[in-house]
Amino acid sequence: MTENSSYLFRFAEAAPNEFDVGTLKGAHERNFPVLRDQEGSVYRIRLEGGGIREPHWHPTAWELNYVIAGRARWTVLGTHPDGDYRNETFEAGPDDLVFAPQGFFHYFENVSDTDPLEVLVVFNTSTQEPNDDIGIVGTVNSLPRHVLAASFGVPVSTFDNLPTEVKPVIISRRPPA
């Protein structure tokens, strides 16, 4: 038996993207070459207590999420099979699967303030995260402030204190109540 194989990916040895409240590790076409042109990638997300995966959407991929440990609160916004456009908010725990269709705006957060949440995410794209994510921060900051003001029906000054950078999707912490 060989110790190394082009078909084997060791998550324990993968370099994580680190955030102040969690980590993101992934197997994708750049670090697991066998996935090139296979339309698949897998990520393991760990959110510490109070952690949030920034609201985002994927223009070219769906997402299937398996909760390994902890409890997550999900929100998914999109057009549903009955033709209605709405969001659904629900909780998922260990051994639950959550599906986010391609193009649907979604996010999840760790329900607990103390216990970690671990989620395995499978995508039907080989692209490295966050190259197929469009987050709410990037979305809002790609629009002129006067367009945001008109869309929300508020003065332009309402958006004066928003950060202006367009950055990749992040993992952040829920602010104190």
Residue type, 26: G
What does pLDDT average to in each consecutive run of 10 residues of the chain (177 residues)?
82 90 92 91 95 91 96 92 88 98 94 97 77 80 90 93 76 81
Distance (Å, rounded) from C-alpha 111 to C-alpha 150? 34
Q: What is the pLDDT of residue 85?
A: 87
Please provide the DSSP assignment of 53-119 as one string.
EEEEE-SS--EEEEEEES-EEEEEEEE-TTS-EEEEEEEE-TT-EEEE-TT-EEEEEES-SSS-EEE
Q: Is 51 helix (H, G, I), strand (E, B) or coil?
A: strand
C-alpha dihedral sign at 12, 37, 119, 20: positive
- Beta-carbon contacts of 170 under 8 Å, excluding residues fewer than 6 positions away, are 19, 54, 135, 137
Q: What is the pLDDT of residue 2?
A: 60
Q: What is the pLDDT of residue 72?
A: 98
Peptide bond into 130 cis (omega under 30): yes
Entry pTM:
0.88
Q: What is the pLDDT of residue 84?
A: 87
Backbone φ and ψ for 85, nearest 5 degrees, come out as -100, 115
**What is 18-133's CATH superfamily?**
Jelly Rolls (2.60.120.10)
> Taking the CB of residue 160, how many other CB atoms lie within 10 A of it?
8
Q: What is the pLDDT of residue 128?
A: 65
In the 8-state DSSP scheme, what is residue 139? H
